[in-house]
Amino acid sequence: MDIENMVQNSALLKAREGKGGRRKGRSWKWRDMLCFPNISQCKDLASSMERNYYSLCVIQPIGQELFWLFCQSRPELKNHVQLLHDLNSFEALFDSDRKDYGTLLTTSSVFLQSVQCVLAVANHEQSCRESLERGPCEDVFHTLHNYLSGEPFSQYQDSMYFDRFLQWKMLEKQPITKRTFRHYRLLGKGGFGEVWACQVRATGMMYACKKLEKTHVKARRGESMALNEKEILEEMNSRFVVNLAYAYQTKNSLCLVLTMMNGGDLKFHIQQMEKKGLAEDRVRFYAAEVCCGLLHLHQKSILYRDMKPENILLDDNGHIRISDLGLAVKLSDGRRAKGRVGTLYYMAPEVISDQKYGMSADWWGLGCLIYEMTTGRSPFRAPKEHPNNSEMERRITSTDEEYSMKFSHEAKNLCTKLLTKDPKQRLGCLVSGEKEVKSHPFFQQINFRMLEAGVIEAPFKPDPRLVYCQDVQDIDEFLPVKGVVLDQTDNEFYATFSTGSNPIPWQNELIETRCFEELNVFGPNGTRTQDLEQ
Ligand code: ADP
Ligand code: MG
Ligand code: MG
């Protein structure tokens, strides 16, 4: 056992545990780092900000918190947010409890009072009652939001709660540098640089920092690829895809700060199993979460193109996320992709034969993944076998994969349908659309609504005392390329890339680490405590 590795691992473990400590991993100066600017400094922001109700009060997490605090301070609006809150809770309930909850809601005074204010006018009460007893009612949501986006939203913008929102937005826009983070051990190596564990000094939040060496990017003309990866990551807002919290630069590298995944990748976990291959319940769980991640990408017209066990990472609780979006492409307006991109073992036949392709390639990838999770090997290659490229291409395009006894009837049926050579006949690509994957009998036990709400427990939880990485000394060093000169054009590109905090993940970080609630106090009569202190 190497001393250096032990030292680095114990530093990382300590930082991870710091989350539960007295200051929860925050710097002793954390309050200064998150000190609100005076409201007079927020004027420019106030005048330039787009006043969109959904963005400001529904989508942005801190925005929603403050808007709700505003509503709670108004007797006539209190019930409305309470009802919104209760409606949100529907997502986390078992199907069998939803009817009772709906009934309970409709008979409660909260429902009556807010419905009488808002809906009865629109003659909705009876139909809402009925549909609420079946599940959350879209009509109620819409009517409530429509109402709140009118007069209440404009009053909110004149309140101290909105001033506070502007102050938070100013903090969000603070410049991000390497001093924003503490840096821990090397986690892995990629094509353009290294991935390191890091922790935000102000909040204690842990992240993975993917560095792209500027000299490498330039020498290999990787600028548009790097920017593509950053812009796609930036759009991600799913618990099943790695999210981007910050993008910044240092003297030598461009940095993408990503959701920290401590539990190792699926390749590692598949190979850990003595019999090579995971139990069916685990396969089903991971496959279902990957399926949700793929649907999130596809809804945003993004094709992933890199499905393989190494790219599926586990978090502390054993949930997975899709990672490494370096090969992903945005296919707007039904455009299709071209190009033999990905890892050969997992490439779909239409990609290999160099045709144009769409989302079909990812559904093939999911088939390969389920196959490999079940048997411990990819469908067209024996373990440790290294067929040459043309042999691999021949097998993928013209031979049928074999199914051992490890496959249940449903698992085999699902894999066969996903590994259909003709993309037009493949599950996920038929006229009935992508939902058909979720409704395959293999997933019968999975409640996708609850899975999306994050209330299903994972079948396996990684050991919190372990560091699921290669030893530091086994990860090859990444040397800068010599003789590459960085000029003004490069600097312009770096500036475009380094956009700082990404609003939704940043706001979630502040809420999750409880920095938001500790700082967001208002003094008596609406005075701002921080103003008084200053
Ligand atoms: P590349 O696109 O250059 O292959 P990756 O995104 O695959 O880079 O990252 C390289 C390695 O870094 C991965 O194999 C993994 O070990 C580690 N890694 C990447 N992202 C994370 C993350 N979010 N959490 C933990 N480790 C990560
Ligand atoms: Mg990779
Ligand atoms: Mg990559």
pLDDT grade for 116, boundaries at 50, 70 and 90: low
Task: Average the pLDDT over each of 79-88, 225-234, 335-344 and give the range with the smallest value.
Answer: 79-88
What's the confidence (pLDDT) of residue 135?
A: 66
pLDDT over 70 (residue 19) = no
Q: For ligand 2, an ion, list residues with CB under 5 A.
A: 324
Burial string for 173-203 (b: 16+ CB within 10 Å, else e) reads eeebeeebbbebbbbeeeebbbbbbbbbbbb
Active site positions, annotated: 306
Stronger pLDDT, 333 or 250, i.e. the higher one: 250
Is 50:493 a contact under the CB 8 Å cutoff?
A: no
Which residue's entry shows tokens 């076998």?
A: 385
- Flag whether pLDDT at 529 surpasses 90: no
Counting from 1 in the atom list of ligand 1, the atom nearest the Cα of 310 is 14
Helix (H, G, I), strand (E, B) or coil at 197: strand
pLDDT band, very low/low/confident/very high, at 191 (cuts 50, 70, 90): confident
Which residues does ligand 1 sit against, CB inside 6 Å? 187-188, 190-192, 195, 208, 210, 242, 258-261, 313, 323-324, 326
Average pLDDT score over the chain: 91
210 is in an annotated binding site: yes
3-state secondary structure 339-387: CCCCCHHHCCHHHHCCCCECCHHHHHHHHHHHHHHHHCCCCCCCCCCCC
Phi, psi at residue 222, to the nearest 5°?
A: -95, 15
Q: Is 124 or 55 the better-scoring residue by pLDDT?
A: 55
Query: What is the 306 CA–ligand 3 centroid distance (Å)?
Result: 8
Q: Which of 167, 170, 404 shows the shortest CA–CA distance to 277? A: 404
Cβ neighbours around 24 below 10 Å, total: 15
Tokens of 447: 């409640």
User: Is a pLDDT exceeding 60 seen at residue 533?
Assistant: no
The sign of the torsion formed by the CA atoms of 330, 334, 339, 341 equals: positive
| pLDDT in the model for residue 526 | 54
Q: How far is CA 222 from the centre of its chain?
A: 24
Contacts 24+ apart (CB under 8 A), 125-129: none
Compute the distance between CA of residue 357 and CA of residue 226 in angstroms, rounded to an integer. 23
pLDDT digits (tens, 9 = 90+) for 305-338: 999 999 999 999 999 999 999 999 999 888 999 9
Residue 532 has pLDDT above 60, yes or no: no
d(CA 132, CA 134): 5
Find the 261 Cα to ligand 1 centroid distance in Å: 9
447 three-state secondary structure = coil
Distance CA 142, CA 53 (A): 13
- pLDDT higher at 78 or 116: 78
pLDDT number for residue 38: 95
Pocket probe mutation, ligand 1, options 195, 198, 233, 255, max atoms within 8 Å of Cβ: 195
pLDDT above 90 covers a percentage of the chain that reads: 72
> Residues 6 or more apart from 146 whose CB is under 8 A from it?
none
The predicted model gives 429-444 an average pLDDT of: 90
Q: How far apart are CA 443 and CA 432, in angstroms?
A: 17
Q: Residue 191 Cα, ligand 3 centroid: separation in angstroms?
A: 7
- ∠ Cα 403 407 413 (to 5°): 80
DSSP category for residue 180: G
| Total residue length of the chain | 534
Average of pLDDT values for 410-430? 96
| Contact call for residues 332 and 278 (beta carbons, < 8 A) | no
Q: Is the pLDDT of residue 507 over 80?
A: yes
Question: Any idea which of 199-213, 426-440, 471-485 has the lowest mean pLDDT?
Answer: 471-485
Q: Which of 127-131, 239-243, 330-334, 452-456 has the lowest mean pLDDT?
A: 127-131
CA of 105 to the centre of ligand 3 (A): 48
Q: Is 253 helix (H, G, I), strand (E, B) or coil?
A: strand
Give which of 114, 62, 121 is closest to 519, Cα–Cα: 62
Asked whether the predicted pLDDT for residue 242 surpasses 60, the reply is yes
Residue 308 CA: which ligand is closest? 2
**Ligand number, closest to the Cα atom of 322:** 1
Instruction: Give 344: exposed, middle or buried? Use CB within 10 Å, 0-12, 13-18, 19+.
Output: middle
- The helix or strand, by DSSP H or E, that contains position 489, with its residue range, turns out to be helix 488-497
The answer on pLDDT for 140 being more than 80 is no
Residue 133 pLDDT exceeds 90: no
Angle at 218 between CA 213 and CA 223, to 5 degrees: 90
Q: How far apart are CA 92 and CA 409, in angstroms?
A: 31
For residue 247, what are the β-bridge partners?
Answer: 256, 500
Q: What pLDDT is stored for residue 82 in this prediction? A: 86
Confidence of residue 258 (pLDDT cuts 50, 70, 90): very high
* Dist CA 51 CA 57 (whole Å): 10
Q: Would you state the pLDDT for residue 498? A: 98
* Ligand nearest to the backbone CA of 193: 1
Q: Which residues contact 296 (CB under 8 A, 6 or more apart)?
A: 236, 237, 238, 240, 241
- Average pLDDT estimate for 162-179: 98
More confident residue, 483 or 307: 307
CA distance 254 to 486: 13
Q: Which atom of ligand 1 is nearest to the CA of 191?
A: 3
> pLDDT band for position 125 (50/70/90)?
low
pLDDT at residue 528 is higher than 60: no
Cβ atoms 282, 459 nearer than 8 A: yes
- Ligand 1 atom with least separation from CA of 229: 2
Task: Please report which helix (H) or strand (E) contains residue 113, including its range.
Answer: helix 109-118
